[in-house]
Amino acid sequence: MGSILRGPAAFDSARATEAGPHRRDVGGRVRHATANPTPGAGRPVGVGLRALSTVEGSRPWVRVVALFAVLVCVPTVVHGQAGEVVVSAASSLTDVMQQVADAWEARTAQRVALNTGPSNTLARQIAAGAPVDVFLSADEAQMDRVASAIAPGSRVDLLRNQLAIVAPVDRPFTLGSARDLATAPIRRLALGDPAAVPAGVYARRYLEGLGIWRAIEPRVVPMGSVRLALAAVEQGAVDAGIVYVTDIRRAERVRTVLVVPADRGPRIVYPAAALRGGPNPDAARRFLTFLQSPEAAAIFIDEGFLLPRP
């Protein structure tokens, strides 16, 4: 069963083990791999999960044990084998797109080379000329960034999502509303980098709308992807995090503190498009159509995603 990816950028094995998702071998073959998270402008991203550095002095409980280096990489071209559909998808789509790719292969006998990672990294790869057939971004800004590479008439709003505030299972605080984050006993709050990663951009926009971003910003630990933010919460390296609702379905050692209702939170849209010059343009169009089919929609809904409003 399943889709296969051949060769995105190398991913640090220690970080992959802690943070996931990562390369997975099935029957001796690589099914899927993640693109390297790349930092946003001007902020440290990818802090180690075992211990997060903070300012010492008035906080004697802080002990800095490790700090992961920021992964800065030149985007690497993803090569699918002949006949494969090369799909780059936001990291928050990792699990559901594996299921969709399996359903596509069962229907068509055509494999999908699935490359997942932060949308800003994937957009950077595409802008650098990576041979990609279909791009699924976690926000409109990153799709806009590759507008010149999109096949005419192919861009669609595919999915929606919601934000959730999560905490390690041993942090017992509660929130009456999201505004209570400003006064909650939270020293470190993990987000996707709010300068670059869509989940972090959405979270910052939401907190700004509530008027509490300035109070919270000093406590923010920016991460290279939403999955790394979730991993920091799972490891207990932070007191809380803001992720997508869909990210927490398979999370361990995490409890949901508050779900932001879709009609009160930021507009979270996942656009999808076929790209010009991809290795398999005809299959790209067919795969994009399949993504909008009732069969694919059922998979997305089962994983907690919302469909676009009519």
Task: Indicate whether 80 pLDDT > 90.
Answer: no
pLDDT at 42: 37
pLDDT at position 34:
60
Q: What is the mean pLDDT of the chain?
A: 80
Token code pair at residue 92: 């928050």
Of residues 77, 72, 50, 75, the one with CA closest to residue 63: 50
Which residue, 37, 39, 38, 30, is CA-closest to 7? 30
Give dist(CA 290, CA 262) in Å, integer.
25
List the domains of the chain with CATH numbers: 13-38+73-160+269-302 (3.40.190.10), 163-259 (3.40.190.10)
Query: Can you give the pLDDT at residue 64?
Result: 23
pLDDT at 20: 36
Nearest to 122 by CA among 213, 198, 49, 205: 198
Each residue's pLDDT tens digit, 9-67: 322 322 333 333 333 333 333 335 566 543 333 334 444 443 343 333 333 222 222 22
Task: Identify residue 131 by its one-letter amino acid code.
Answer: P
- pLDDT (mean) for 128-149: 97
Contacts of 19 (CB under 8 A, 6+ apart): 49, 227, 228, 231
- Residue with more model confidence, 35 or 134: 134
CA gap 207, 209 in Å, rounded: 5
3-state secondary structure of 267: coil
Cα dihedral 296, 302, 308, 309 sign: positive
Q: Tell me the per-residue pLDDT of 231-256, one tens digit each, with 9 for 90 and over.
A: 999 999 999 999 999 999 889 899 99
- How far apart CA 278 and CA 47 sit, in angstroms, is 35
Stated as kind and residue range, the H or E segment containing 19 is helix 13-19
Choose among 37, 56, 36: nearest CA to 45. Answer: 37
Angstrom distance (rounded) from CA 79 to CA 4 = 11
- pLDDT-above-90 percentage for the chain: 71
Q: Which residue matches tokens 């292969």?
A: 105
Q: How many residues does the chain have?
A: 310
Beta partners for residue 86, in sequence order: 113
Q: What is the phi/psi pair of residue 290, to 5°?
A: -65, -35
pLDDT confidence band for 309 (50 / 70 / 90): confident
Region 251-265: mean pLDDT is: 94
- The pairing of strands 156-160 and 269-274 is antiparallel
For 184-236, what is each residue's pLDDT tens digit?
999 999 999 999 999 999 999 999 999 999 999 999 999 999 999 999 999 99
Q: Give SS3 for 270.
A: strand
| Whether pLDDT at 86 is above 90 | yes
- Cα–Cα dist 260/238, whole Å: 20
Per-residue confidence (pLDDT) for residue 250, from 0 to 100: 86
Split at pLDDT 50, 70, 90, the class of 310 is confident
